[in-house]
């Protein structure tokens, strides 16, 4: 039993580590891309990007997880399931490609920019390649092989990021338009998906009958369960992509209807999109740390260990709030120098600061969605995300004409907060995890944040008076040193204020020890 549990943890941690690296790569490349193409070029890329993000969330996260669970639950014959899954994934991919390619001109017009048709059509080609990776990842995970999935994730992102940057650099240097450069950059995403699929196909496992040779039948019930579970399991990854999709259709149009020139509105959208890598950077730590404890939930639910379920839920939510809050507040404090350091100037800093508030609810969503799925309430999580979409649409229509970029940011904060609150309410009714939460814990958390803010603002004041200009080099020094000062002060504060109990620190320590043992085991295998 312990060996099996250890194996499950090792696989989960391996995939979590790979996902962390992938998320960092996916965040970092946007900065040099914006530097090469400018805010307008960044606008073009980001308008088509949500289609990629949604496709990848379902195909590379939801579908493999759903398929692997179904394979693991099928104790005897899996031929029917494997054949159904391969036909389902490829048919869905082909239909999605045809639909997106054919409707690209119409979608571009809905976005208020007919020239976006080319980038959207390029990203539609992705749907022809991702089914192979989705099917193979799910199959390998179902048979207990997490290493191939982890390596394929890293390979896919490496080819994708390299392709985006090299193609963009060439197209910018040779004088192509922003739309052509954006289309070329999006082709890098297609390249990454193709490389991942071919890598996995090369290692096709012996003993598993190829679906095209199998005499098994395609079962509609399997297909329906796969699609439904894929969407539920990818919800946490979808929340930011869906917020971006709403902005892609409404941001420019609402501005233009308010009397702004189309080009100026698109330029502002490019500036507003600077916030996306900041959101991903802010949530990556909280999401990854929380994910490391979530896989245990299904095991605890199966054994009906209510006390442990409460403790795990409380710790997971606490981690997301404590670290998500620190990331949000910290980024807000250093937004102007950080914006200058990363994107050449401080344009839109106030809107980006407001947008960073959504890091807290998004971190909670990442964690609570996984917990709700573990206790069998994935449908409730889905409804909360749908509610967030409606709030975001209404918020954009109401707030953008009055507040501009800040209005779009406010609508994202409110929408994600609504989803987070709905999910927390359901978690509370299902697990009663807030049973031992006291007001003193909240005051201690706010005090720790206050200490961090006071220290960072004091250091920024001192650092700014050390420099006469506001160059990117100055901004680099201020941003990096402020992050170090804030991080150290916050860590000391949360330890001194006993925000985490001894038992909770022990749980985190056990996870770290498991990671260390996994790394040692992988090193031994490499030596052999």
Three-class secondary structure assignment of 157-191: HHHHHHHHHHHHHHHHHCCCCHHHHHHHHHHHHHH
Write out pLDDT tens, residues 503-515. 766 665 555 555 5
Which pLDDT value is given to residue 288? 65
* Predicted local confidence at residue 205, as pLDDT: 60
Residue 359 lies in a domain: no
Give tens-digit pLDDT for 110-166.
999 999 999 999 999 999 999 988 888 888 888 777 788 888 888 898 999 999 999
pLDDT at position 255: 93
The whole-number pLDDT of residue 123 equals 95
Q: Tell me if 3 is assigned to some domain.
A: yes
Closest CA to 169 of 156, 183, 185, 191: 185
The pLDDT of residue 207 is above 60: no
Mean pLDDT value of segment 311-331? 89
Mean pLDDT of all residues in 22-47: 89
Write down the pLDDT at residue 127: 93
Tell me the C-alpha distance between 87 and 436, whole Å: 49
Q: Enter the tokens of residue 304.
A: 């009906």
Question: What span, in angstroms and rounded, lies between the C-alpha atoms of 80 and 84?
Answer: 6
pLDDT of residue 506: 65
Range with the poorest average pLDDT among 146-155, 208-217, 470-479: 208-217
Q: What is the DSSP string of 343-404?
A: HSS-TTHHHHHHHHTTHHHHHHHHHHHHHHHHTT-HHHHHHHHHHHHHHHHHHHHHHHHHHT
At residue 138's C-alpha, the angle toward residues 137 and 142, to 5°, is 120
pLDDT band, very low/low/confident/very high, at 348 (cuts 50, 70, 90): very high
Q: Name the more confident of 6 and 195.
A: 195
pLDDT tens across 256-265, in order? 998 899 999 9
The tens digit of pLDDT for each residue in 351-400 reads 999 999 999 999 999 888 878 877 878 788 888 999 999 999 999 999 99
Arithmetic mean of pLDDT over the chain = 85
Alpha carbon separation from 133 to 130, 163, 200, 255, 278 (Å, rounded): 5, 18, 7, 40, 28
In a domain? residue 371: no
Q: Cα dihedral sign for 186, 187, 189, 190? A: positive
User: How many domains are there within the chain?
Assistant: 1
Q: Is residue 394 part of a domain?
A: no
For residue 239, give the nearest of 328, 369, 49 by alpha carbon.
Answer: 369
> Which residue did the predictor score with more confidence, 458 or 1?
458
Is residue 448 one of the residues assigned to a domain?
Answer: no
Of residues 135, 143, 103, 136, the one with CA closest to residue 121: 103
Q: Percentage of residues in the chain with pLDDT exceeding 70?
A: 84
pLDDT higher than 90, residue 106 = yes
- Measure Cα distances from 470 to 30, 344, 426, 466, 467 in Å: 23, 11, 48, 11, 8
- pLDDT-derived band at 22 (thresholds 50, 70, 90) equals confident
Residue in the structure block whose two tokens are 């245990």? 296
- Tokens standing for 255? 């501005």
Pairwise CA distance, residues 441 & 447, whole Å? 10
Inter-CA distances, 119 with 74, 130, 178, 465, 485, Å: 41, 18, 10, 45, 42
Dihedrals phi, psi of 334, to nearest 5 degrees: -105, 20
Decide if 181 is inside a domain.
yes
**Better-scored residue on pLDDT, 484 or 72:** 484
pLDDT in tens, 392-418: 999 999 999 999 999 999 999 999 999
Q: What is the mean pLDDT of residues 446-462?
A: 95
pLDDT at site 249: 96
Q: By C-alpha distance, which of 451, 475, 452 is closest to 463?
A: 475
Does some domain include residue 328? no
In a domain, 265, yes or no: no
Vertex 252 angle, CA 38 and 421, to 5° = 100
Q: What is the pLDDT of residue 201?
A: 85
Q: Give residue 168's domain range.
A: 1-233
The residues, ordered by sequence, that sit 6+ positions from 181 with a Cβ below 8 Å of its Cβ are 37, 41, 44, 168, 171, 172
Calculate mean pLDDT across residues 238-252. Answer: 94
Question: Is 293 or 490 the better-scoring residue by pLDDT?
Answer: 490
End-to-end CA distance of the chain: 27
Answer whether residue 9 shows pLDDT above 90: no
Q: What is the pLDDT of residue 152?
A: 87
User: Is residue 37 pLDDT above 90, yes or no?
Assistant: yes
């Amino acid at each position: 039993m312990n060996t099996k549990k250890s194996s499950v943890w090792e696989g989960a941690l391996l995939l979590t580590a790979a996902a962390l690296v992938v998320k960092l790569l996916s965040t970092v490349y946007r900065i040099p891309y914006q530097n090469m193409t400018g805010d307008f070029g960044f606008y073009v890329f980001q308008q088509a990007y949500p289609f990629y993000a949604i496709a990848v969330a379902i195909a590379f996260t939801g579908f493999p997880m759903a398929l692997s669970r179904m394979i693991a639950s099928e104790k005897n014959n899996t031929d029917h399931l494997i054949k159904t899954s391969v036909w389902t994934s490829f048919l869905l991919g082909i239909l999605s490609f045809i639909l997106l390619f054919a409707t690209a001109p119409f979608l571009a017009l809905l976005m208020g920019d007919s020239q976006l048709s080319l980038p959207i059509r390029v990203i539609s080609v992705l749907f022809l390649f991702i089914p192979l990776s989705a099917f193979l990842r799910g199959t390998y995970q179902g048979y207990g092989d997490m290493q191939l999935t982890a390596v394929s994730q890293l390979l896919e992102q490496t080819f994708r990021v390299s392709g985006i940057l090299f193609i963009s650099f060439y197209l910018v240097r040779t004088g192509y338009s922003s739309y052509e450069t954006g289309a070329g950059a999006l082709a890098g995403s297609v390249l990454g998906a193709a490389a991942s699929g071919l890598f996995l196909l090369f290692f096709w496992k012996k003993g598993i009958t190829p679906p095209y040779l199998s005499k098994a039948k395609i079962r509609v019930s399997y297909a329906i369960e796969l699609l439904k579970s894929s969407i539920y399991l990818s919800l946490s990854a979808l929340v930011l992509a869906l917020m971006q999709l709403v902005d892609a259709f409404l941001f420019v149009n609402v501005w233009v209807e308010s009397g702004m020139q189309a080009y100026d509105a698109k330029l502002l959208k490019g500036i507003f999109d600077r916030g996306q890598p900041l959101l991903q950077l802010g949530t990556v730590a909280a999401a990854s740390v929380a994910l490391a404890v979530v896989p245990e939930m299904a095991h605890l639910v199966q054994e009906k260990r209510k006390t442990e379920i409460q403790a795990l839920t409380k710790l997971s939510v606490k981690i997301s709030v404590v670290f998500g809050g620190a990331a949000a507040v910290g980024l807000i404090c250093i937004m102007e120098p950080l914006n200058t350091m990363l994107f050449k100037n401080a344009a839109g800093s106030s809107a980006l600061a407001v947008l960073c508030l959504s890091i807290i609810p998004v971190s909670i969503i990442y964690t609570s969605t996984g917990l709700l799925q573990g206790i069998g309430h994935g449908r409730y999580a889905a409804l909360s995300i749908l509610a967030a979409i409606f709030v975001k649409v209404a918020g954009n229509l109401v707030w953008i004409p009055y507040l501009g970029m800040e209005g779009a940011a406010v609508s994202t904060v409110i929408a994600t907060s609504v989803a987070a609150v709905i999910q927390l309410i359901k978690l509370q009714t299902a697990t009663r995890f807030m049973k031992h939460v006291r007001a003193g814990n909240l005051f201690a958390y706010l005090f720790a944040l206050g200490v961090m803010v006071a220290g960072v603002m004091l250091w920024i004041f001192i650092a700014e008076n050390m420099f006469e200009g506001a160059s990117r080099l100055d901004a680099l020094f201020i941003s990096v040193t402020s992050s170090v000062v804030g991080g150290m002060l916050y860590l000391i504060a949360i330890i001194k204020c006993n925000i985490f109990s001894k038992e909770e620190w022990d749980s985190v320590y056990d996870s770290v020890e498991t990671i260390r043992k996994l790394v040692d085991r992988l090193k031994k295998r490499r030596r052999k």
